Every structure is written in structure tokens, then in C-alpha cells.
Amino acid sequence: MSNEKMVKSITSMEEDFAKWYTDVVLKAELVDYSSVRGCLIIRPYGYAIWENIQKLLNERFVETGHENVYMPLFIPESLLQKEKDHVEGFAPEVAWVTHGGNEKLEERMCVRPTSETLFCEHYANIVHSYRDLPKLYNQWCSVVRWEKTTRPFLRSREFLWQEGHTIHATAEEAKAETIQMLDVYADFVEQCLAIPVIKGQKTEKERFAGAEATYTIEALMHDGKALQSGTSHYFGDGFARAFGIQYADKDNQLTYPHQTSWGVSTRLIGAIIMAHGDDNGLVLPPAIAPKQVVVIPIAAHKAGVTEKATELYERLKKIARASIDLSEQSPGWKFAEYEMKGVPLRVEIGPKDIEQGQCVVVRRDNREKTFVKLDELEEKIPMLLKAVQDGLYQKALARRETMTYQATTMEEMIKTAQEKPGFIKAMWCGSRECEDALKEKAGVSSRCIPFEQEQIADRCVCCGKPAAKMLYWGKAY
Amino acid sequence: MSNEKMVKSITSMEEDFAKWYTDVVLKAELVDYSSVRGCLIIRPYGYAIWENIQKLLNERFVETGHENVYMPLFIPESLLQKEKDHVEGFAPEVAWVTHGGNEKLEERMCVRPTSETLFCEHYANIVHSYRDLPKLYNQWCSVVRWEKTTRPFLRSREFLWQEGHTIHATAEEAKAETIQMLDVYADFVEQCLAIPVIKGQKTEKERFAGAEATYTIEALMHDGKALQSGTSHYFGDGFARAFGIQYADKDNQLTYPHQTSWGVSTRLIGAIIMAHGDDNGLVLPPAIAPKQVVVIPIAAHKAGVTEKATELYERLKKIARASIDLSEQSPGWKFAEYEMKGVPLRVEIGPKDIEQGQCVVVRRDNREKTFVKLDELEEKIPMLLKAVQDGLYQKALARRETMTYQATTMEEMIKTAQEKPGFIKAMWCGSRECEDALKEKAGVSSRCIPFEQEQIADRCVCCGKPAAKMLYWGKAY
């Protein structure tokens, strides 16, 4: 048995994108399958990415005045049923608990698919006066939706997420919160995950169960499919009425408050993989990479190499999430391994480099090599990390621009959807009929009504009636 | 309706300790009840304490080489049944999921009561060679145990915890890990929560289901009852055999690895409340207090007071978790409110103080007042926080010492257990019969066989046969 592990190989993107994706999540050791179909094991490397996402998002939530809480895992059936649209949306896909130990429960409970009903019940208990408002709460937890088909991170029966739930005195405040949190998401996904997004509103058909308005950030994946990456909902006072939440305003009048909810999930890890990955594996943006730099000694058996590599590692630790690989594997094996894991920078150092007082830094995103003088390490590494972060964003943006098309007729729509993976911009009259027809005939769903509107035609791409709005359409995960 | 909220009042400890406890958890706004009996809502103030506990513990886990992962919420019945003792221990108290959406599941699943079985299944997948060992994993999550009687934080049907699960090449390594993590817990609880603990081993009767040895840290609460505050289990290779986990050792021989698990939960918040609280409410150790200092202006309507208070707050924010209360409530109301919430230091500043270039700092733990010169704030506040932290520990230690008794005869045991709440040290022959008899006749359970043994008699307190060990006995939560 050789001491050298096999270099891992994966299916190429071109050949089979779905298979490439599964290969990456497994070979980069992000997840493992469990015996519970559709539920994942998130391994240390995958969970470390989630922890970085949590940390950066949570800072933004705290800055905008939000507080974390924890609600029960279970929702009694009667509570789930209190808001009509909400229960219709979720009841068909929840997991039901019917027994506690050996006893049958008097009322069955579902495992939370989302927690609006629990927050509403709590708000009814603690909100009495205008002085109690707003409440700006967030929860980090797992939720369960009993999906028929599942894919790691993108659609699983259990997934990790955060769900913000806020309650406000006025509709204006609640609306402002809804948009603020969409902006927080967009900013985070663009700045930290290096993925450009389209901000917009969902159509009524795609709206969250029980919401008056749903806003979304939509990202484009490598294969031209859209990924809904975060949503923010405005509820008006619908839930407050259903749950009897009222407060005494300044004139002591009982009034219904207005609510929002918003969430992102481990789906974002799927977005990172499919927005930046390549045929060598994962490519991680430095902002959320568990390891930003890995030091690999070359010809480590030669005198002084391991010592020098360790010295570099000790220096790098102070300015980045650095690691070092002193194992007996060959440099070639290590290069492949850390490429698979998407580590943004690799620092190579061998006898010749030491002689010349330098090291070799290789970027994961474009394999660009830079010789860095050892005394400039602390200056150059952060610059290179920033270059990778910016480079990933620019590359993803350019790809999205190239893969965004327009259609003004149904013929064009069908042809583009068939031949050109990507977003399609097209005008829409506003009717559900046309939205359904586009799904049926062109296989595309409405992604969003973008905030940045363009008048690309006067008439609906489907029915030819006067158009109300320009929408993004596409195939989606 | 007055603008002044009612000052909250609570039952005194003397009058009814259980009622005092419930009053504190509700009035300090740590929790709220939900419609799911036995499941709690952890409110922002309670959750912030848990986040501080998580942060400090997680740092210690990372320092000792552990990695976080996330396992599924559900365990198929067949998987739970793989280890005989384990399933016997947990099956009677799990919540069963029987339906997904409208369909009956082929095999029912329980909501995890603990995740040994899931980790074992994963280890069987990923551990093949001695090079794959050890795996030092930890998970932060919620678990469910369908208890009959519940109390906030102390025993609830769902609770938050961390569960460490490690797997090692040798029994020695696994044993060392078990003890290391018990030490991490003991150090954390003593240093950060300011609660002294007794470290020791559980008797066979009190052992975790499936473990070869269970170690515990036991703390004494204000009412003289013991609280098991953290446990660490050594499994030997029992689970590995049950789950078929084997690795090729250096000689390429298939070998069973050895495992551990260890956990602490939101129970620690119950420990903080009952170890330090008083008739004015919560008393929080500064290390985990969400707010360490609160600034309260006195006669805030007078010129310059609000400005000066705000200035102090801005300075304090840089050295502590500080807050300021500029609301219209009276100072008296505010004093009571922050005492209820256990904020370690209160900083009062009024016109006279400003004139004299000072402020008044009041300790929550002993109400000691200190006049602090404004230009010494940055020096004195950290000293006072440290004094509170140390003071709480010393007070809890002194109380435990006063409330620890000895018994050498059964008569003494029964009398002490009846009359003197606290720990009772007594010798034990090692038999289950005597342990059961002590429970039945004196109402005490064995808390632990402490690492620090004392030879307080030669014979078992119950049967009079030669004694094997000295144990701590007591009534427990």
C-alpha cells in the first residue's frame, strides 16, 4: 500500500454539470450522505464555510439592531393552521411527530418548516404597547421540508438557515425593514461571496405563503441556471390579524402591527460552488474560505526547507487564516488537494526559493504565479487575497452579463431558453396566465421583477398586451 | 396609564425556591413559554448568555483541536437500535416522526435525543486507516427528549447543547480525551460561570446509556440541590463493534477504534441562576453577562447629565459590554430592572457627581458602592468586573463548603439528608443494592465518585461492609 493517497479526479463541468457538482461536494469533503434520505452530514470543511457565513451575516444583523432568539423546533398542528395561506403552502411538505416515547400525542406537531407561526404566538404574548415595538428578532436553526427530490445544499429535507422575524408599529417601517434586509443580503453575497445578484420582487405566483410581497436576490450559476439566494417578505398585518397581535398606540387605540421575515440558508454554499468552481474543484472567495493560504514545502527533505516553511506559516497565521501541509504526500498531490478544496492562495517554498529570499504564490482562481520576496510577505499576501476576491466577482459578473439575453416575442423566448442557458429579460403584462404559459412553453419561471427596470419593449412577450414590467426569466434550481 | 412600568417583584428564595426560580427566568426575560408544552422560547437576553457560553467554550474546543460539524436531526429507528444499551436508554423518551407531508414513512425516525448513532454511521464511512484517526468532532444543536415533567433550562423537551464525539486509535488516547474534556468543562464553569464543581466518575447506575465510564462535574445550587453540569463519556470500542467501524493499523491489521462523547447544555444557564441569583433577581458573572455595565443618569433633566452619561457610555463601550438607559423611567425603576437582569456593574452619574468629577459604581453581587474618578474609569471598571467575577466564585465556594456534610452511619445519612440541604460525603461498598437503598431510605442519589478521594470511614455507610470509595450524595435536579 503506497503512502501516497490517490489524487482525486472529478467529472468535468462540460460533460455533466450535475455530476461535477456532486463530485465537488463529496471530494472537497463538504458533506457526506447519511442513512436519512435527503438529510446531509455537513463535514468540518463545509461547516467551517457556514460558520464564516454566519459570522459575517450576524455582524450585519447586529449592526442593524437585530437580536438572536431561539424558538421551539415543533409547531402544533392547530398553530400552523392559524394563517390560511401559510398552512396551505407548508402543510403538504412537513414532517409530522405523532408520538412522544410510547405515547400517542393528543395533537400532532410538525417539525418547523419556517417559524412565522411561533414568532407570532410569542409576539401576541409580549407586544402590548407601542413602547414594545419594534421587535427585531433573528434565529439561527435548522428547518425541515419533506421534499421529493433533493441535492446537497440546494434542496435538502433538513437545512440550516437563519430566519429574521420583525414586528413594527407601521406598514412603512415594516416595508423599510424588508428592503433593508434584502440590501444586507445583496451586499453580503456580492462583497463576501463574490457573487453578483439581481435584486427584485417576486411575482404573486412565486410569493411566500402568507406574504403581501416577497423580494429576492437572484444569482446566475455556471451552467446558466438561476439560484434564488435570499428572500425578504413583507406581511402587512395579515399574520397579526390571524394571531390576534395588537398594541395600544400613543392614543391608546388598539392597532394591528406589521411584520416581515427574511432568510438565507446553506443554499449559499451551493451558490459559491456553482458560481466559482471549476474542473479542478472548489474555488472559495477569501472572505469565507476556512483556509485562505496554505504553505507547501518543496523538496522538504532538503536541509532548512521545513523550518523555513514553518516560519512562513507562523508569519502568515498573523495576517490570514493560514495552514501548512507537512505531510509526506508529494507536492503534486498537495497542489491537487488544495485546488480541490478551493484554498485561494498556495505558497510554495523550496531550496532555490530560500536561496533567492522568495517564495512562489499561486492563485487558485486563475493559477497566476507571483514571486514574493520573503520580507514583503505581510504586504503582498493581503493584496493577493483581495485580488482573488475581486477577480472572482468580476469574472462572475462578466459571465452573468454574457449569459443575460433579451426576448421580445414568444418565438425568441422559446429559442433562447432552449439554446442559451442564462437569464432572459422580457416584458410581462402582469397576468398569471402568461406566467404559466411561459413555464409551459419555454420552460422558464419568473425569477424577479428587478428594481432596475428597463423598457425593452412595449408589449408582453407572451400575450402581446401592453406590458407592465420587465422581468428576469430563467431555469432555476 | 402611567409612563412608569411597574417595578417587577418576585417570590423570595426562602419562601419558595422553585417559584423564585420561575419568577427570575420570566421577569429577567430569559424565556417565554410556548404552546408546545415543555419546549421553551429563549428570548434575546437568555440567548445572549448562551451565545457567550458558546463562544467561550468553542474557543476551548478549537484550542484542543476539535472541529464543528452538523449531523441530521433525525435518526431512523433501525439505526438507533444498533447499540443495545443505548437504545434501551433513549427509546422510551424520544419523539417519533411517522409522516412526511401526507405520506406515511416506510420507517419511522426519532428526533435526535443525542447523536452517537449518527456519528458512528459517519465514522464507519470515513475511517479506514490509522491515518484517518483521530477525528475530533463537535456539534452545536438542539436535541429532544420527551420528558414527563419539565422546568425552564433544567429539564425541557427540547434543549440546546453541544455534543463532542471523538474516535481514536487506542483506548489510552480516548480515555485521555474523556478526561481532557471534563477538565475543559470544569475550568470553563469555574473560570467563566464562577461556579465551583466537583469532578468525578458516575457509578454504573448513573452511567450514560452505552458508555464504559461516565465522568461528571457536579455543582451545588443555592437550595442545596446538586446540578449535574457537564458529562464526558468513554465508550471503549463498544459502539465501533456495534457499527462495524474498523481501521487498518500500521501493520495493516483491522482494528476497532475507541470513542468518547461529551456535552453541556443550556442547563448551564439554570446553574448560573441558581448558584448566584438572589431575591432581587439574576446575578450574572461578568464573563458571560450580555451587559457587563449599565450607565444610568441621575436627574437626567438637569443640564449636561445626559451628555456626560453618554460620554461615559462611549468610553465604557471600548472596554466592556456596556449599555446606557436614557429612557424616561425613574432611576429607582432602572436600578430594580438591571438588578433583576443581573448586570454586574451599574454606573450612576448625576449633577453632583459631575461637579466632583466622579461617578458611582454599584456592584450587583454585594451592592458595594465605589466612587470612581472619571479619569480613572478605564482602570477601575475592569478591576471591579474582576472583583465581581472572583467574588461570585468565592461566595459560591464558601456556600458549598458550608453545605457539604459527612455521614458514616445510615442514621446520620437519613438525618442529614432530611435536615441539611447540600452534599453529603459518605463511604460506599460499590454495590448497586446500597445505592438503591440510599435512594429509597434517605432520598439521595450518588452524584459522583470524586477524583479527590478522602478516607472518612472504613465501612460502607449503608451495609457496613468494607468501603471501596468515598462518594458525594445528594438530592439533584
Per-residue pLDDT tens digits for A410-466: 999 999 999 999 999 999 999 999 999 999 999 999 999 999 999 999 999 999 999
Confidence of residue A364 (pLDDT cuts 50, 70, 90): very high
Confirm if B364 and B277 have CB atoms less than 8 A apart.
Answer: no
Of A91, A101, A118, the CB nearest to B34: A118
Task: Taking residues B123-148, report their average pLDDT.
Answer: 97
Task: Taking residues A379-391, report their average pLDDT.
Answer: 98
Higher pLDDT, A86 or B389: B389
DSSP state at residue A116: H
Whether the pLDDT of residue B3 is over 90: the answer is: no
The answer to whether B111 contacts A73, with C-beta atoms less than 8 Å apart, is yes
Distance, CA of A96 to CA of B104 (rounded, Å): 9
Task: Taking residues A359-373, report their average pLDDT.
Answer: 97
What integer pLDDT is reported at residue A2 of this predicted model? Answer: 39
What integer pLDDT is reported at residue B29 of this predicted model? Answer: 97
Confirm if B97 and B112 have CB atoms less than 8 A apart.
Answer: no
Position B138: which residue type? Answer: N
Nearest CA-CA partner of A235 in A254, A208, A253: A208
Confidence of residue B91 (pLDDT cuts 50, 70, 90): confident
Separation in Å, CA A135 to CA B88, B265, B341: 44, 27, 19
The answer to whether A39 contacts B73, with C-beta atoms less than 8 Å apart, is yes
What integer pLDDT is reported at residue A270 of this predicted model? Answer: 98
Tens of pLDDT along B235-261? 999 999 999 999 999 999 999 999 999
Average pLDDT, chain B: 96
The answer to whether B41 contacts A71, with C-beta atoms less than 8 Å apart, is yes
The answer to whether B72 contacts A146, with C-beta atoms less than 8 Å apart, is no
Position B45: which residue type? Answer: Y
Confidence of residue A87 (pLDDT cuts 50, 70, 90): confident
What integer pLDDT is reported at residue A4 of this predicted model? Answer: 44
- Residues from chain A that touch B47, judged by Cβ atoms under 8 A, are 67-70
- Residues from chain B that touch A101, judged by Cβ atoms under 8 A, are 91-94, 146
- Residues from chain A that touch B100, judged by Cβ atoms under 8 A, are 93-96, 146, 157
The answer to whether B44 contacts A144, with C-beta atoms less than 8 Å apart, is no
Tens of pLDDT along B68-84? 999 999 999 999 999 88
The answer to whether A69 contacts B44, with C-beta atoms less than 8 Å apart, is yes
Distance, CA of B205 to CA of A244 (rounded, Å): 50
Of A70, A91, A99, the CB nearest to B42: A70
Distance, CA of B6 to CA of B22 (rounded, Å): 19
Nearest Cα residue in chain B from A42:
B70
DSSP state at residue B149: S
The answer to whether A42 contacts B70, with C-beta atoms less than 8 Å apart, is yes
What is the dihedral sign for C-alpha B203, B209, B213, B215? negative
Strands (E), B194-344: 198-201, 213-220, 226-236, 247-248, 254-255, 258-265, 293-297, 322-324
Q: Does residue A375 sit in helix, strand or coil?
A: helix
The answer to whether B95 contacts A92, with C-beta atoms less than 8 Å apart, is no
DSSP state at residue A92: G
Task: Taking residues A227-253, report their average pLDDT.
Answer: 97
What integer pLDDT is reported at residue B87 of this predicted model? Answer: 87
What integer pLDDT is reported at residue B84 of this predicted model? Answer: 84
Q: Does residue B209 sit in helix, strand or coil?
A: coil
Tell me the shortest Cα–Cα distance from A342 to chain B, in angstroms: 19
- Residues from chain B that touch A35, judged by Cβ atoms under 8 A, are 76, 79, 121
| CA angle A94–A107–A156, rounded 5-degree value | 15
Whether the pLDDT of residue A154 is over 80: the answer is: yes
Among residues of chain B, what percentage have pLDDT more than 70? 98
Tell me the shortest Cα–Cα distance from B428 to chain A, in angstroms: 34
CA A284 to chain centre: 13
Q: Provide ipTM, 2 decimals.
A: 0.96
The answer to whether B70 contacts A47, with C-beta atoms less than 8 Å apart, is yes
User: Exposed, middle or buried, B46 (CB in 10 Å: 0-12/13-18/19+)?
Assistant: buried
What integer pLDDT is reported at residue A7 of this predicted model? Answer: 58
Which residue of A34, A88, A110, A116 is the best one to mutate when testing the B interface, meaning the one whose CB has the most B CBs within 10 A?
Answer: A34
Confirm if B38 and A109 have CB atoms less than 8 A apart.
Answer: no
Cis before A297 (ω within 30): no
The answer to whether A39 contacts B101, with C-beta atoms less than 8 Å apart, is no
Tens of pLDDT along B22-51? 999 999 999 999 989 899 999 999 999 999
What integer pLDDT is reported at residue A6 of this predicted model? Answer: 59
The answer to whether A36 contacts B75, with C-beta atoms less than 8 Å apart, is yes
Nearest Cα residue in chain A from B76:
A36
Q: Output the nine-digit C-alpha cell for A474.
A: 430563467
Contacts of A181 (CB under 8 A, 6+ apart): A64, A164, A232, A260, A262
Which residue of A2, A49, A69 is the best one to mutate when testing the B interface, meaning the one whose CB has the most B CBs within 10 A?
Answer: A69
Strands (E), B125-267: 135-144, 158-168, 198-201, 213-220, 226-236, 247-248, 254-255, 258-265
What integer pLDDT is reported at residue B166 of this predicted model? Answer: 98
Distance, CA of B59 to CA of A381 (rounded, Å): 26
Confidence of residue A8 (pLDDT cuts 50, 70, 90): low
In angstroms, the first-to-last Cα distance of chain B is: 42
Higher pLDDT, B91 or B205: B205
Distance, CA of B233 to CA of B118 (rounded, Å): 16
Task: Taking residues A374-394, report their average pLDDT.
Answer: 98
